[in-house]
Amino acid sequence: MRLTTFNIRLASMLALLFWSAGLEANPVDPFPNVNSHDYYGNMTAALKVVMDENVLEDVVVAVYSGDQIRGKGSPADPSNPGVIYPTVYGNNTGEKIYFKVYVESSGLTFSIDDNLEYTFNGALGSPAQPYIIYIDNAHPVSITEFDGIDNIVAQSITGRKAQFRRSFTAGVASTICLPFNFNPADGTGTFYEFVGVNDARTEVTMQDANITTDNPLQADKPYLFMPSSTGEITFNGTVTNDAGSIIAGTATEGQWTFKGSYARIDWTTDPGNIYGFAATPAKGENAPVQAGVFFRTTGGSKSYILPFRAYLEYSGGNSAPSRSGSRDTGSNLPDYMTVRLLGIDGTVTAIGSLDTRSGLMHFDDSWYTIDGRKLDGRPTLSGTYINNGHTIMIK
C-alpha cells in the first residue's frame, strides 16, 4: 500500500498517542530530581528488579551516593520488558552507590545496598544482561523523609527490617524519633530524653538516655541527639508495631510535652504554644533566633517541622509571649528556652544553647551550681560549679 502524506501523519499521531499512554502508565515517582549539572561524568546502567522470581515493571529505581540522588528511571522499553536504563552521574570513580526501589503496587520503598561503586565512563549491566536488583525479606524497608511515614503506614510491615538514613554534623544537635528500636554503633553520638521545663520557663532539661546494646533507642520515643561524627548515619531496626498503628510517641512532664512526629507539620498560623528546636539560626518570621534553643514558633512559611523529629508543646493555654527580648517568668510564654544537659547520673554537664556552628554549647559568663541553680556571680564558697560549659572545682 502506498503511504500518503495523510497516512504518515495518522501513523505519527497514533504513535504519539500510544507513547503518551505509556508515559501515563508509568509508576508514580517519589524521588527528587537529579541535578546532572553538579557532575561532570556519568556511567550507563541497565537494571532489572526481581522479587520472588518475578520481574517487576511497576517500579522506579533511584541510584544514590550518600544522601545525593545520582540517577533514576523506570521500565520504558517494550522490546525488553522490565529493563531500566538510568544514567548515573558522578565526579569520582570509587564513590559508593546504592539503590532505592519504589514498588507502586505495594507502596513500599526498599533500600538495596549491593556494595557497588561508581565508575567514570563505566557501565553497570547491559541490555542483553541487565544487572539484577533482588528484593526479598532480607532487604529492609527504606523509611525516608520524602513523605514521612505515609509510604509504609498502610502496609503490612510488622516484623520487617527497616532502615532510616540521615546526614548529621558532629556536635550539631537535632531532634529524632524513629518507628523501631535501634542499637547504635559505638561513637554514634549521645541521645537525650526529655526531663522537663523549669518553673521560670527559661530552660529545657534533657538527660543522657544511656543508649547501649542492652538499652536500645526505643521505637516511637522522641530524643535530642548529639552526633559525634559528621556524615550519614544509617539506623537499622525491626518494625514491631501492627500495620496502620505506627504512631510517634510523646514524653510529658507537667504542662510540657515533647512530641515526636512522623509527618511534616506546617504551622501557617500562630499556634501560640509550640516550640521547635532551632538546629540552625531561624530566619524570616522567626528571626532573630540563635541556633540550639527551643524557640516559640509564630506561624508562617518558616514554621514547620520535618518528619522523624520532635517539638515541645505547652498545654497550659496559648499565652502570648513577651516581645521584650527577655525570657518572661510570669504568665506569658517566653520567646525561647535554652537547654540544660544532664549526664547519666543526673549531674549537670552543660547549660546554654547548642551552637550548631562550632559544635559546642554557647554560654554567657554565668556561674551555676552542680544542680543547675544560677548564681549572681563568681562563687566565693568552695565546691563544684559550672562555668562556660566546664565543671570547675573551687577550693
CATH 2.60.40.10 range(s) for the chain read: 19-139
User: In percent, how much of the chain has pLDDT > 70?
Assistant: 73
The one-letter code for the residue type at 137 is N
The Cα 278–Cα 336 span in angstroms is 10
Here the cell at position 273 is: 504554644
Give per-residue pLDDT as tens, 74-93: 998 889 999 999 999 999 99
Here the cell at position 387 is: 562555668
What is the predicted pLDDT for the residue at 152?
A: 52
What is the predicted pLDDT for the residue at 23?
A: 39
What is the predicted pLDDT for the residue at 148?
A: 66
The neighbour count for residue 137, using CB atoms within 10 Å, is 9
- Per DSSP, 286 falls in state G
What is the predicted pLDDT for the residue at 94?
A: 94
Phi, psi of 298 (to 5 degrees): -110, 5
The Cα 212–Cα 198 span in angstroms is 28
What is the predicted pLDDT for the residue at 10?
A: 46
What is the predicted pLDDT for the residue at 242?
A: 57
**Are the C-beta atoms of residues 248 and 262 closer than 8 Å to each other?**
yes
What is the predicted pLDDT for the residue at 371?
A: 58
What is the predicted pLDDT for the residue at 146?
A: 64
* CA dihedral over 54, 57, 60, 61, signed as positive or negative: positive
Low-confidence ranges of the chain (pLDDT < 50): 1-3, 6, 8, 10-24, 151, 153-155, 282-288, 319-331, 354-364
What is the predicted pLDDT for the residue at 281?
A: 54
Phi, psi of 267 (to 5 degrees): -100, 90
What is the predicted pLDDT for the residue at 212?
A: 84
Give the count of alpha carbons within 13 A of 288, CB side only. 4
What is the predicted pLDDT for the residue at 239?
A: 76
Q: Quickly name the fold that domain 19-139 has.
A: Immunoglobulin-like (2.60.40)
Strands (E), 1-95: 41-45, 47-51, 54-55, 59-65, 68-73, 88-90
What is the predicted pLDDT for the residue at 176?
A: 94
Strand pairing category for 108-117 and 68-73: unpaired
Here the cell at position 192 is: 537525650
- Is pTM beyond 0.85? Reply is no
